[in-house]
Amino acid sequence: MSEERRNELRDEPVVYAIHRQDRTFLPAREHCPLCPTRPGGEETEIPFGEFEIAVFENRFPAFEAPRGAAEVVVYTDRHDDSFGTLEPERAEALMWVWRQRYEELGARADVEYVMIFENRGVEVGVTLHHPHGQIYGYPFLPPVPKLELVADERLHGCAPCALLGRELQDGRRIVYENEGVVAYIPYAARWAYEAHVVLREHRPSLLACDADELRLLAAGLQALARGYDMLFDRPFPYVMVVHQAPTGGPAAGKGHLHVEFYPPLRTAEKLKYLAGSEQGAGTFISDVLPEESAAKLAEAIRRVG
Amino acid sequence: MAFPDEGSSISARSGNDPREREEAYGPSRFRRYVKGDGRTLILYTHGGLTDGGPVHEGPPRE
């Protein structure tokens, strides 16, 4: 069981999950715990010979009942795929899995905020290469979604709706759009290639999306993931986070579904580190203008087609 | 894809009739299992995605 403490200087929670120190770390391919179980081979987390999408409770959870949840979502039984290379139908199916888990975990009394995310690449601390994401059910409202609610108040309405409107009006930082979603590098992006994929219509969560919107969301996310890989002609590390409305507490149901990508690369070989100004002053110093990186990323997305 | 039956290290979470063990969600079907250490595993399969519509209205749109 994890221990929650409060950092009073920063007014933020810190979770100590010391059992995670022992979790599986970059195993050889033949020992991947997320692959299907081969006949005669060692049993993996999924003790069957094939599967489409699998979800299971994390063996090394940061949160667990009766104080939250931690799950692993395995996108495919093919070890060498990635979110971007999944068949479009599989990516669309994944949106339904996310929706179902958001609904089920969000209904729990010990979960106030459901966060679906993917860490991709050793640069962001991935310990297993098999394509997968995770879901945390926080027993409290974490600082970032709390700040988004404050932004709603500051902008006198839905902040993502307002910011999407500004980006569409400006146009220079948009990298992809379809009938359901718009992807752009924000005006004040913290990371060189940070991108937000935002539902055109105001939808608090995946639960408010119809089948077409889920399909278009999947298409937008995949276009971006493939464009990232094309950008520097290499697997592009990122943290991908689905932002949705809290499911409990006074803010339940308030939010605007969007997906944010935080890639640490600023060039093909150079990583952005969180150093003095970022950690000590909370002020990102970026050496790339969002308009310039957006032009490059949009071109990469166009090349992938 | 058909759901696999339980094995030596895993069991279906409930129901004796295999059909009762499956749940539907939009165009998806899923089935829950209990792993040997008590953790839940859910397998999802999908078909007819283009026929799928909203199955839950969810919270009111603002």
How far apart are alpha carbons A109 and A203 in whole angstroms?
Answer: 23
CB A210 within 8 Å of CB A96:
no
How remote is the C-alpha of A160 from its chain's centroid?
A: 16
The average pLDDT across A17-37 equals 87
Which of B26, B41, B60 lies closest to A96 in CB terms?
B26
Residue of B nearest to A211 (CA): B53
Tell me whether residues A204 and B59 touch, CB distance under 8 A: yes
CB A134 within 8 Å of CB A75:
no
Residue of B nearest to A103 (CA): B58
pLDDT band, residue B2 (cuts 50/70/90): confident
Which one-letter amino acid corresponds to residue B51? D
Question: In this model, does residue A244 exceed pLDDT 50?
Answer: yes
* Residues within 8 A of A (CB atoms), B 3-62 only: 4, 7, 9-10, 25-28, 30, 35, 37, 39-46, 49, 52-54, 56-62
Q: What is the pLDDT of residues A53-107, one digit of tens each?
A: 999 999 999 999 999 999 999 999 999 999 999 999 999 999 999 999 999 999 9
Which of A53, A59, A203 lies closest to B44 in CB terms?
A53
The average pLDDT across A10-33 equals 88
Tell me whether residues B58 and A207 touch, CB distance under 8 A: yes
Cα–Cα–Cα angle for A220, A246, A196, nearest 5°?
25
Identify the pLDDT of residue A1.
Answer: 85
Identify the pLDDT of residue B47.
Answer: 73
Tell me whether residues A96 and B30 touch, CB distance under 8 A: no
* Residues of A that are catalytic: 132
Place of tokens 């894809």: B1
Identify the pLDDT of residue B57.
Answer: 34
Tell me whether residues A52 and B45 touch, CB distance under 8 A: yes
Query: A63 to chain B: which residues are within 8 Å by CB?
Result: none
The average pLDDT across B51-56 equals 36
pTM: 0.92
Tell me whether residues B25 and A211 touch, CB distance under 8 A: no
CB A114 within 8 Å of CB A255:
no
- Tell me, yes or no, if A253 comes closer than 8 A to chain B by beta carbon: yes
Question: In this model, does residue B55 exceed pLDDT 50?
Answer: no
The average pLDDT across A187-209 equals 98
Token pair for A56: 């299971």
Across chain A, which distance is largest between two alpha carbons, in Å?
Answer: 61
Phi, psi values for residue B9, rounded to 5°: -110, 5
Question: In this model, does residue A247 exceed pLDDT 70?
Answer: yes
Question: In this model, does residue A178 exceed pLDDT 80?
Answer: yes
In this prediction, the answer to ipTM > 0.90 reads yes
How far apart are alpha carbons A163 and A176 in whole angstroms?
Answer: 16
Cα–Cα–Cα angle for A222, A227, A231, nearest 5°?
155
The average pLDDT across A30-41 equals 93
Mean pLDDT, chain A, whole residue set: 96
Which residues lie below 8 Å from residue A295, measured CB to CB, with a gap of 6+? A172
Least Cα distance to A152 among A61, A255, A239 occurs for A255
The average pLDDT across B39-53 equals 72
The average pLDDT across A180-184 equals 98
Q: What is the pLDDT of residues A94-129, one digit of tens each?
A: 999 999 999 999 999 999 999 999 999 999 989 899
Helices (H), A199-289: 211-231
Q: What is the pLDDT of residues A128-151, one digit of tens each?
A: 999 999 999 999 999 999 999 999
**Residue from A95, A99, A158, A200 to probe the interface with B (highest B Cβ count within 10 Å):** A99
Identify the pLDDT of residue A228.
Answer: 98
Helix or strand run (H / E) with residue A175? strand A174-177
pLDDT band, residue B13 (cuts 50/70/90): low
Q: Reply yes or no: is the peptide bond before residue A66 cis, omega within 30 of 0.
A: yes
